Structure formats: structure tokens, C-alpha cells
Amino acid sequence: MGNQGSSLGDEPSTAIAQKNLQHFDHSFKGELHSASGNLICATFGKNIKFAKRPITIICKSSSMDLIEEVGITNRKQAIVPYALINGISWDHGNSEVKFDFTKGEDDDDETPPFVILTLSNSVEFEGEVKLRLNGLASTNRGIKIPSPLYFGMFAGATKPKPFQRKRPNLSSLPSGKLPPLAEMRSQALELHKGAYRPCPQGESRRMSIALQHIYEGCNTFQVISARGSSLPSRSDSTIVINDECITFGPRGSNDNRVEYLFSDITDWNAVDNESFRSGESGINITLSNDESVFFGVSFIRDVKHTLEYFWNRYKVSVGQEKEVKLGSTHGRPIMSVYTLSGEIPPPDPPVGHCEVIDQDGIVVRPGGKMVPRRNSIGQIAAKEMKVVPSENREVKRHWHKVVLHQGWLLKQGGVGVGTAKSWIKRYFVLYKTSQGHFLVYYSDFTECPMYTTEKNHRNIVDLAKATFIRPGSNKSDSVDIPAYCFDIVTTEREWTLCAESQENVLKWLKLINFAVDADVAILADEELLFKVKPKVDPLGILNPSDYSTTLKVSANGISVCAPDVTRKDGSDREYYFWVYTDFFKWSLLSQGGKLALLVNVFADSSFSRRNEYIFRNKEAVRLATAIEYFIEKFMSVMHIRLETQEGAFDDVGDVNGEAGAPTAGLHGISVDDDAPHEDEIDLQLVEENLLDMEISPAIPQAVPSYKHDNDFAAGSFVTPSVPARPAPAVVADPFGDDDPFGLGPLSAATVPASAVNTASRAPAPTAPKGGSTLLDDLLMDPIPSSTAASNVTINKPSDVFGSDPFGDDPFGSSPTSLSSGLGQKVEKPAPPLTPFQQAQHKSWLTAALAANGGPFYDDGVLQVTSKIEIRGSQCRLSLAYVNNSPGTLSDLQVSIADPAGLIRFELGVGPTSLPGLGRHSQVMMAECIKPAGPGPSWSVSYLDSLSLQRRSCTLPLPLLLTSFIEPLALSGDDFSARWQMLVGAGQESQEILKPLRPLVPGEVQAALVTVLRLGRINGIADSSEYVIYGAGSLRTGAVTSTGEKINVGCLAKIEMNVQANAMRVTLRTLHPAATAALLQATKFLLL
């Protein structure tokens, strides 16, 4: 019993057990699974692999006997001395143990000797082996007890080291297969900024969604917009997602509801537009009749994960496991698990109790007598007999779907004197929900949802946040700890629970382990906050004298925030964001009784230069554990996201029971082959002595040294030789009040030659002389655009635009950034944008055209956003440059090219360099002078002072012919009349477009209005969801002979064939040049 030592004096119970155990032999039933080496194979034969031969294991004082009964009278017996065991690995999820032995003279030199045993109760057997080994070591000082290793989520008295364990695989992709580091980093940055940005601590939405699923058997979400021919128009609508369908209808009413069965849905996808326009995200489903339906929602992450769960569970229930949603993380079956013998298909999941039971394990029924509840060990709370209340019928219908296991456990309560707190019996329910698995406990079973509609739970353990499970509590040597205890450790706290029997403990552990494995890719949606004192900051930005710096640890990285003294309210500003791919190593430091965490991170996306930081925090161990937890989750998510990439499943084999590829940590992934390196980089995520509590007694010399031994305690670090940099200077708001063009056009006197990136000035179009036609005006020669130049003298021209059509300019200039010389260091080219980044920039471009601005460029170092204002034929494009790196960006050159001659423009003064974390803005004034395509392009080039890499890139500007179109509101008859008039040569262009992605009519309809900027025309006979019409007026700055600006009417018809995934686009304008240019822009935007 756990309390055995309390009545036998001051000697700990384990020491007493070790002494007494040598007088007894204990036997255990099990199976011989696999073996190698003469110690075992000499008795049981060679080639023992997956044998599953029944044996009896007898633990004696100095050895362990393995006995196999052969017939009635014969037996095989192998004697294993404890002294020969040099390694022990436990897999409690599969009730297995592996013993590694010291190699004997007759053993094969290539294969180390070992044996793998399968036990009926591995937890009980581990306790026996521990006592035997400790007893042997106490009597033989030369015996060294091997430290146990644990598979999966289990741990012993010491915590598992990072990436030592191998996690289950939810995908058919080979375990450990991950995208390139640069691609993972780019994805993580986008997720962190978009719909997957973390909730503030304490504001998680997962918990409330999970509780709704528990009580209602479904999840309900508010719909902010809906598109689809079968959808009635209404406000205040919701979608309800359950095990079989998606139901759309008015909130709180069952009338006029539309039900979409999963059996009728051929596919669905989540549309995440949160990174550039809030409120435009949602779920798009495709039905078997090729109809497309879109539901706009507020929190796309929550809806996506919920639909993933119900959709995947449905596919599994109908025998279509291979049709689960690729890239999904919720509700997926486990495809393979790691055992002591390698990677194998998962065993059958453990089965729990779905029936409510009383404290004696008897199933309760409404109206029956309740057993008096025992509050704690040996105590009875009440003597009177109570009646079991009636069941909640609404919950009973789905209770078996959300409950994995339930029963009674002891937990330590908060009432007691000093540290002696009472042990209280609580009713625990292990739930499986759309947001993961949760272990919830109640005061009594009558307070669980089966018997009440009120949420009376005492507390909730989020198993998606579990870092490890310890069978046999770390506190088990304490005299007040009951027997059969175990620990669940999460990123938030540690729970110690106790069962009533060894069998009950094993059942709970197997079910909890299965739940944690199923949630291997489910992430917490909120931040963990740690207040730290930055004792070492190589850039000198953070305040080293107090705990004002906050580390916000979340799903995709760590945000380093500190108060911004330039803000009136003193609110925090994010100075760094470290994606988990940036971590090179981390370790715990201790001196003078104080804990700190050393973090070594890569400085930028080149993965070639590192910075080292030291943060002091009394919870440094929990902080380090959280980092490990999130990196493991990050790797699981990125492994699954790889499924959505083309060619991901090439050369995928089946799991065959052999030792599979090891679960790769980020240290096992090489940098993208295209990325140049000065030398080979071993990207190891090392955590020296991190979680086994063997904390380094002092800081290594590679990091800051000390003036004397007590410097750490005194807080007086000697910083490294890296020169400290002041915090970045306050820069003006790029959208301030000062107009960079307010003093008139730029001149050589006001613009340094070195600051000139582009000079493109064309005189305003003049009226043609006699004999020219309107078409001649539109087909004038393109106006040449200059490229980036240095040492250029600009003569003072006349104002190219005349009066500013925007009135008071809301845009302002910002101070000139400081340049940073690089001496004689040799620069090298940076790798180009990855295909994923190129696709991302294309989506940003389309979004910016629709939203008049947004993200424009991001290479991981330099980030550029745009803001667009259009007035008729004139445009003001403002670009805001942000340096996300702590190093200076020097020799920054920006140029605009427009070979087609769509616009005439004037590019304002741009930055020639950007300091670390600095900002700058640039304004371009432009006017459309002719219909032409493609649109202008933007080029950037700069030198990254940290990596010494020259980065260059050219992208299309979010400025096309369609940017200058104003929508027209025409009646159907008026449109038809104009359409019939434009039948001349070249006035019509028609082409069939076949997009690479699935054709969604709702998206095309939206594109007609948002990016083509045409007014939607209704009232035409054949107009429908699949045939749409639009009209607009192209505004140009070209003038007629009378001085009037030329406008060109544009008409469009788009016919969609969803089944063929094609659309026929027909465009008509008065001028063939305009028709051709409009078709070119339309193809670019719709494909």
C-alpha cells in the first residue's frame, strides 16, 4: 500500500520495500515479443520477432526468470541477472518493456542483445523492477541502475528529453517528412498573423465549443454571409454541424432550415482571408449536384476544426478512412504508432465505460438508490440513501458519442492544514469532442451532463495541452499519497490522481494515452505568458533591469514584447517573433538559486546567423517545457499540412511493422538546397539537461561571463562582445499629415542623388493635332519608365498632375533611415522566393486589388504593405516598408517599370536603408493614360547586413487596368442595347478560361465586383448564378481634341460550367485596344 511506511518509523516506504522484497518472489504473466543475443536466444531459439509466446516472469532478489511452459512437464527457462541490464525502455501504451543487456562473448557484434516483453500490466511490473534494482544497488555499490526511457507520452521520475519520444502518425505520409525550413517558417508567419493568430491568455474559444458539443451533441456558429442558389435570404442565421450534416437556418428556429448531408457533399474547403480582410473568411462546400454553397463566419479556425472533426468521423464511420480531409488535424484516425519494435499500424483503441457508475462500479439507473458518497479515503459523506435523478434526454441521445470513459478517481483537494491536504473522490469523465479530448471532473455523477443541463464541472484538464503522463506519481514516496496514483502534466499545471486498483490505473492510463495520441496535432489556441528579465540581449533593445519583458508562447512561435515608451499608454510592442524553425538550441541555467533560460535563435530566414538571449524567470522549467511541447505540435501540424502539396504522396509505402523512419525533429531537416551557406549548419534543437532537472550549474563561456560567482544572483551580467544597439528611433507614421509632394514636385535641391530610386516623369498628354482620331489617343506610344539609378540629377519639372485631385494629403513622409556600411565583407545572393511564397504573393495581389491595399511583399526580412486610393483616372499608391530583422538593410533600391505604358507616374523618395526593426514609407502618384497591359511592376533590391545576402525581387504592382474602372448601374434593357451596338472588328474578345483550382460561382461573382470593378447587371433573360453580366467605365487621363478626358465603356459576360471547371469570358468595348487589354487583365485576375 502507498501508506505502508507511515507506521514503521521515519524510513521511507520504498526503502522498507527494497529490504523486504528480497525475501519474496513475484510472478507476472506476459508474452515474449522479440529478442536478440545469446542470453535469451540460447534458450528460446533464434529469430524471435513478434513471437507473442506466453511466458511467466518471476522476479527474484538478484535475477529475473523467463519461463515458457512446453507441453505438460517441459519448460524453457532463461535467467536474466539484473546486473546485466544496461538499458530499460517502457511503452505503457502497449504494455511493453525492452531490456538491453551487456554484450557477452558469444553475442553478435552488430546486434546488441535485448528482449521485449509484453505484460498484462506494465505499470505494476515497472514498480516491481524499480524496487528490485534499487534493492540490488543498495547492497552492491558497484551496480549502476540504468535510467529508464519512455515511449510516447509516458515519463518516469525524470521528465523525457525533447524529441526522445516518437509520436503517432495521423497521415499516410512517412513519419518525419516535413516541408523545407524556409517554407515552414513562411507558413507559420502567415498563420500567426491571420485567422490562426493566438487568443490572449484566458480567452480560449476551444473550451466553450467543446462544452457545447458535450451538452448538445453539435456545434453552432453565427453566419455573417451566405451564398448559394438553394439558400434563402435571411439575417441572423447559423450553421449547425453534427455527426451527419451541416444545417443552415435562422437562429433559434427550426423553420426554413436547409440541411446538407455529408453523404451529399463531395468536398469542402476553408477560405481564410483574415490576413488581409476581416470578415471575408468562411466554409465553401460542393454538393453532388455541382452546386456550391458558401458560409461566411467570424472565426474560420474554429469552424474549420469543428467541420474537420465531424467530417472525418463520418468518413471513418462509413468505412472511408482514406477520404478524410487532407491537411486536417481533428477527428482523424491514427495511421501508425511507434512501439519498442518499430513503427506498426495502430492496435485497436482501448474501450472505456460509457455507462454512469457509482463508487462501487455498479451502473446506476434513474430512480434507483444511490450509494452514500465517500468524500475521501475511508470517509462517508452522508448516511442517508438518495435516489438517482432522471436522465437528461437531450444528452442521452449522444452521450455514447462524446464519452470515451468515466469513473471515480481521488484527487488532492484544497482544504487542509499546511501541505497536508485531503484526498477527495471525484467523478471523472473523459470526453471526445470536436476540439480534442478533455478530462472533466464533477463533485458527483449527478452533476455531469447526463443528469443536469447546468455546467457544474469542477475543473477541466485539456489533454491537447498534455506534455507527459507519469504512471506512479512523482510524489508516490510521500506518506500521504494513496496507492495506484499517476500524474498528468500539462503546459498549465500538474494533476495527481489516484485509482482504486492497479487494473483501474492501467485502464485510465491507456485511455488517456490514446486521447493524447489522437490529439497529437491539435494545438492550444491561446498564448502562454511568461514575464522575464532579459539578462542578455545582443541587440540591446529589451530592458535588462526588470520583468517588463513578456514572452508570449503560442502555436507557431514566441513573441517577445516589451513596453513601448513612445506610446502614450505604455502598451507592449512586439520586438521579435521567433518561429519555431528559428530555434537552434535552448537550455536551463542556474546560479545563486535563480533559474534562467538560454535561447539561441537564428537571426533571419537564411538560417546562417544566430543570436543568443538569456531570460531569467522562476518558471524557467515550465517555459522550457512549453517550448518543447509547442515545437512537437508544430512539427506534427507541418507534417500534416504537407498532404495538401502536389506530389506529397509520391513513393509512399505501407507500414509493415519494421522499424520505421525516426520521427524527425526540426534538427533533422536540412535547410532548403537553394539557400547558400558559408559552412554546414547542424540545425539541432538541443536542450542540454533541460527536463531531467540536471540543470547546468553555470553558464558556459560561449555566453555572457560573470564578474564573480554571485553575479547571476546580483543581476550584474557582463554582456558579450556583440556591440549593443539602441532601441530603434521613433519613426513617423507612414500615414501622417505631411505631404511629401506638398511643396511641389521633387527637385535636385531637395532630393539627394543617392536617395533617388526611380525617376519617371512624362508630360501630360496633349491634344492631338488635326487628323488624329480618338483611337490614336489611346494607341499613343508607351511612355518609357526609368529604372533604378544612382547619382542622378533631376531637373525641376513642372507639376505633372496639376492640382492634387485628392485635396489634403493624408499621407506623410518619414525620416530618412540610416545606412549601414559593410566594409570589405563579401555579399552573396539570397535564395529566390519559394513556390509557396510566390503563390502567397499572388493571393496578396488579388486581395489588395479587391480591398484597396493590404500585404504586398514579405520575404521574412522585409515586409511591404500597400494602400491604394483611386479617384477617376488618378491614383495614389502608398507603400509602407518594415524591417522585421534586427539587422540593417542597406543599399535599398526600389524601382517601378511600366513597359506597356498603362500609367504615367511619379515615385516619391523611398528609403535607401532601413535600421533593425525600422519603418519607412513611400508614395507613388499615377494616372491611367491608355488601356494597356500588363500593369506596372515593382522591383526591390537590398543587402541584409546580418546574413550578407543580396535580396532582389520583382512583383506586379496592385495596379491594373481594372483599377481605373468605375462600375455602372444599368438596366437589363440598357445593357442589352449597348451590347448589341459593339459588334465592330476588334470590339469583342472571347476566351474560355480553365482555372487550376475548382470553379466556385460565388467567388467569380465576387471577383466581378471587387477586382474587375464592374457593376453587376440583373434583369437579362439568361442571367443566373452561372451566367453573370457586368458593366463599367474605364477612366483615363488621355484627352480629346477638345481637352476632355477619355472614358471607355466596358461590358462583360461570364458563363460558368462548374462540371467542366471552365468559364467563357466575353468582353466588349468601343476600342479594340481596350478590349484586348481588358481581356488580359481579366485572365490574370480570374486564373
Q: What is the pLDDT of residues 613-635, one digit of tens each?
A: 999 999 999 999 999 999 999 99
Cell 546488441 belongs to residue: 112
The answer on pLDDT for 652 being more than 60 is no
Percent of the chain residues past pLDDT 90, beyond the cut? 41
225 closest CA partner among 273, 280, 286: 280
- The CA dihedral of 307, 308, 311, 312, to the nearest 10 degrees, is -160
pLDDT (average), residues 471-487:
74
Q: What is the pLDDT of residue 103?
A: 86
Q: What is the pLDDT of residue 259?
A: 92
DSSP letter (8 states) at residue 800: S
Contact (Cβ atoms closer than 8 angstroms) between residue 213 and residue 699:
no
Percent of the chain residues past pLDDT 70, beyond the cut? 77
- Tens digit of each residue's pLDDT (9 = 90 or more) over 1048-1068: 999 999 999 988 889 999 999
User: How far does Cα 655 stand from its chain's mean position?
Assistant: 27
Give the separation between CA 144 and CA 782, rounded to whole angstroms: 84
The answer on pLDDT for 143 being more than 90 is no
What number of CA atoms fall less than 13 Å from residue 432's CA on the CB side?
28
What number of CA atoms fall less than 13 Å from residue 732's CA on the CB side?
17
Give the separation between CA 882 and CA 921, rounded to whole angstroms: 9
φ, ψ at 1081 (rounded to 5°): -65, -40
Q: What is the pLDDT of residue 522?
A: 95
Contact (Cβ atoms closer than 8 angstroms) between residue 687 and residue 587:
yes
The answer on pLDDT for 595 being more than 70 is yes
The answer on pLDDT for 1027 being more than 90 is yes
The answer on pLDDT for 502 being more than 60 is yes
Give the separation between CA 905 and CA 937, rounded to whole angstroms: 12
Contact (Cβ atoms closer than 8 angstroms) between residue 12 and residue 5:
yes
Contact (Cβ atoms closer than 8 angstroms) between residue 606 and residue 948:
no
Give the separation between CA 637 and CA 635, rounded to whole angstroms: 5
pLDDT (average), residues 572-585:
91
Q: pLDDT tier at 703 (50, 70, 90 boundaries)?
A: very low
Q: What is the pLDDT of residue 521?
A: 94
Give the separation between CA 536 and CA 163, rounded to whole angstroms: 27
Q: pLDDT tier at 666 (50, 70, 90 boundaries)?
A: low
For helices 300-317 and 206-216, angle between their N-to-C axes, nearest 10 degrees: 40
- Tens digit of each residue's pLDDT (9 = 90 or more) over 15-38: 544 455 555 888 999 999 999 988
Which region, left, alpha or beta, applies to residue 262 given φ > 0 means left and ψ of -120 to 50 means alpha?
Answer: alpha
878 closest CA partner among 926, 937, 923: 923
pLDDT (average), residues 353-380:
73
The answer on pLDDT for 439 being more than 90 is yes
Three-class HEC string of 1024-1072: CCCEEEEEEEEEEEEECCCCCEEEEEEEEEEEEECCCCEEEEEEEECCH
DSSP letter (8 states) at residue 839: H
Between these two residues, 371 and 608, which has the higher pLDDT value? 608
Between these two residues, 570 and 131, which has the higher pLDDT value? 131
Give the separation between CA 396 and CA 215, rounded to whole angstroms: 10
Residue type, 606: S
Give the separation between CA 324 and CA 309, rounded to whole angstroms: 10
Between these two residues, 326 and 743, which has the higher pLDDT value? 326
Task: Tell me which long-range contacts 994-998 makes (C-beta under 8 A, separation of at least 24).
Answer: 994/1061, 994/1062, 995/1061, 995/1063, 995/1086, 995/1087, 996/1087, 998/267, 998/269, 998/286, 998/1061
Give the separation between CA 639 and CA 328, rounded to whole angstroms: 11
Give the separation between CA 613 and CA 717, rounded to whole angstroms: 12
The answer on pLDDT for 362 being more than 90 is no
Contact (Cβ atoms closer than 8 angstroms) between residue 423 and residue 440:
no
pLDDT (average), residues 637-641:
93
Q: What is the pLDDT of residue 753?
A: 34
Between these two residues, 694 and 973, which has the higher pLDDT value? 973
- Tens digit of each residue's pLDDT (9 = 90 or more) over 281-313: 899 999 999 899 999 998 899 999 999 999 999
The answer on pLDDT for 329 being more than 90 is yes
- Max Cα distance, the chain (Å): 121
Most confident range (mean pLDDT) of 51-55, 439-443, 726-730 is 439-443
The answer on pLDDT for 379 being more than 70 is no
- 14-to-6, 253, 953 alpha-carbon distances in Å: 11, 63, 67
Residue type, 862: L
Give the separation between CA 677 and CA 608, rounded to whole angstroms: 7
Q: pLDDT tier at 961 (50, 70, 90 boundaries)?
A: very high
Contact (Cβ atoms closer than 8 angstroms) between residue 238 and residue 296:
no
Give the separation between CA 166 and CA 189, rounded to whole angstroms: 26
Give the separation between CA 295 and CA 302, rounded to whole angstroms: 13
Contact (Cβ atoms closer than 8 angstroms) between residue 476 and residue 131:
no
Q: Measure the CA angle with vertex 370, ends 366 and 375; round to 5°.
A: 135
Give the separation between CA 468 and CA 553, rounded to whole angstroms: 18
pLDDT (average), residues 889-914:
92
Q: What is the pLDDT of residue 700?
A: 35
Q: Concatenate the DSSP letters of all residues of 851-879 into one string.
A: HTEEEEEE-SSEEEEEEEEEETTEEEEEE
- Tens digit of each residue's pLDDT (9 = 90 or more) over 509-539: 999 999 999 999 999 999 999 999 999 998 8
Q: Concatenate the DSSP letters of all residues of 675-733 into one string.
A: S--SS------B-TT-SSS--BSS--TTS-EESSTTHHHHT-EE--SSPP-PPPPP---
Tell me which of 197-206, 401-410, 671-680, 993-1002 is least confident.
Answer: 671-680
Q: What is the pLDDT of residue 91?
A: 86
What number of CA atoms fall less than 13 Å from residue 183's CA on the CB side?
19
pLDDT (average), residues 727-750:
32
- Tens digit of each residue's pLDDT (9 = 90 or more) over 854-876: 889 988 889 999 999 998 899 99
Residue type, 634: F
Give the separation between CA 704 and CA 721, rounded to whole angstroms: 9
The answer on pLDDT for 10 being more than 70 is no
Q: What is the pLDDT of residue 150?
A: 83
Q: pLDDT tier at 832 (50, 70, 90 boundaries)?
A: confident
The answer on pLDDT for 762 being more than 60 is no
User: How far does Cα 707 stand from its chain's mean position?
Assistant: 42
Q: What is the pLDDT of residue 420?
A: 57
Q: What is the pLDDT of residue 755?
A: 35
The answer on pLDDT for 944 being more than 50 is yes
Work out the burial of residue 848: count CB atoms within 10 Å of its CB; fewer than 13 is exposed, 13-18 middle, 19 or more buried. Answer: buried
- Percentages helix, strand, coil for the chain (3-state, rounded to 5) are 20, 30, 50
Give the separation between CA 390 and CA 544, rounded to whole angstroms: 61
Q: What is the average pLDDT score of the chain?
A: 78
Give the separation between CA 294 and CA 281, rounded to whole angstroms: 10
Contact (Cβ atoms closer than 8 angstroms) between residue 813 and residue 827:
no
Determine which helix (DSSP H) or strand (DSSP E) holds 287, and give its type and residue range. strand 282-287
Which region, left, alpha or beta, applies to residue 609 given φ > 0 means left and ψ of -120 to 50 means alpha?
Answer: beta
pLDDT (average), residues 77-92:
90
Q: What is the pLDDT of residue 685?
A: 32
Contact (Cβ atoms closer than 8 angstroms) between residue 929 and residue 765:
yes
Q: What is the pLDDT of residue 154?
A: 82
The answer on pLDDT for 708 being more than 70 is no
Q: What is the pLDDT of residue 56?
A: 93
- Tens digit of each residue's pLDDT (9 = 90 or more) over 149-174: 888 788 776 666 666 677 899 998 98
- Tens digit of each residue's pLDDT (9 = 90 or more) over 401-437: 999 999 999 987 654 444 556 788 999 999 999 999 9
